[in-house]
Amino acid sequence: MSGAWIIFRREIGQYFASPIAYLIGFAVLLITGILFYSDLNYAATTRPAEPSLIPSFLAFAMIFCAPLLTMRMLAEESREGTLELLLTAPVNDSAIVIGKFLSAWFFYTVLLGLTFIYQFILLAITQPDLGHAICAYIGIWLYGGATLAVGILFSAMTENQIVAAFLSMGVLLFLWLAELVGQIVTNLDIALVIRQLTLQGHFTSSFAVGLVRAEDVAYYGGLMVIMLFMAIRVVESHRWR
């Protein structure tokens, strides 16, 4: 697995050297800051602070951020020709994909960690429901990993970063909006099945309300495994073209 580690390290260096990562970080912190401020205003007068405020926002934001964070990863390698060198280096194809995925997830984790500062602010002025918040953070951490895995898959599929970003946004948006389809279907069984397949279905009614359920962890974990498996196969297919 040392190949994955070396690729992970390079990608991390790449993230912290690229403007897009900082821009996304800036935007996320700015928007979550504003959200937190307005929530704090409510909390001062009408109701307690919402523990899953930031995670719930990120559940939406990741639909757009995950593709931006991952679009470069394999598309650029393919375009620049470095993929050919990677594929002739003594590492497994899976190490290439996993190394890249873990670096994206790591960067996202750092970003998520930065938003945890709001919990410390709350701790300083009141008694927030920390258990609920941590639960929501665990959920959005897994949720983010799954969206990033989708991004990696589409980055592997094309040489064009923009195409990769739009394709993964489309799929993520579909996985996100399918929740609405579930709500308008009258047949209860079908509605439940649809809900079980969506990104939101495993977040809003479980992690976001302070529940950690095995089925939700399995859903996001499974999504990551499937997406990465497919991405590895796509990378491998470069050998057969």
Contact residues: another protein, CB under 8 A: 2-3, 6-7, 10, 13-14, 17-18, 80-92, 239-241
**Residue-by-residue DSSP string for 217-235:** HHHHHHHHHHHHHHHHHHH
For another protein, the closer of residues 46 and 88 by Cβ is: 88
| Minimum distance of another protein from residue 222's CB (angstroms) | 29
For another protein, the closer of residues 91 and 185 by Cβ is: 91
| Minimum distance of another protein from residue 17's CB (angstroms) | 6
| Minimum distance of another protein from residue 90's CB (angstroms) | 4
Q: How distant, in Å, are the alpha carbons of 48, 206, 234 from that of 222?
A: 35, 17, 18
CA distance linking residue 56 with residue 51, whole number of Å: 9
For another protein, the closer of residues 81 and 127 by Cβ is: 81
For another protein, the closer of residues 2 and 46 by Cβ is: 2
For another protein, the closer of residues 63 and 71 by Cβ is: 71
For another protein, the closer of residues 62 and 69 by Cβ is: 69
| Minimum distance of another protein from residue 96's CB (angstroms) | 10
| Minimum distance of another protein from residue 214's CB (angstroms) | 37
Cα 72 vs. chain centroid, distance in angstroms?
A: 15
CA distance linking residue 44 with residue 152, whole number of Å: 42
Q: How distant, in Å, are the alpha carbons of 9, 58, 108, 139, 202 from that of 130?
A: 33, 18, 21, 14, 21
Q: Does residue 45 come out as left (phi exceeding 0), alpha (psi in the -120 to 50 range) or beta?
A: alpha
CA distance linking residue 61 with residue 72, whole number of Å: 18
Query: Of 70, 212, 39, 82, which Cα lies nearest the Cα of 141?
Result: 212
| Minimum distance of another protein from residue 86's CB (angstroms) | 8
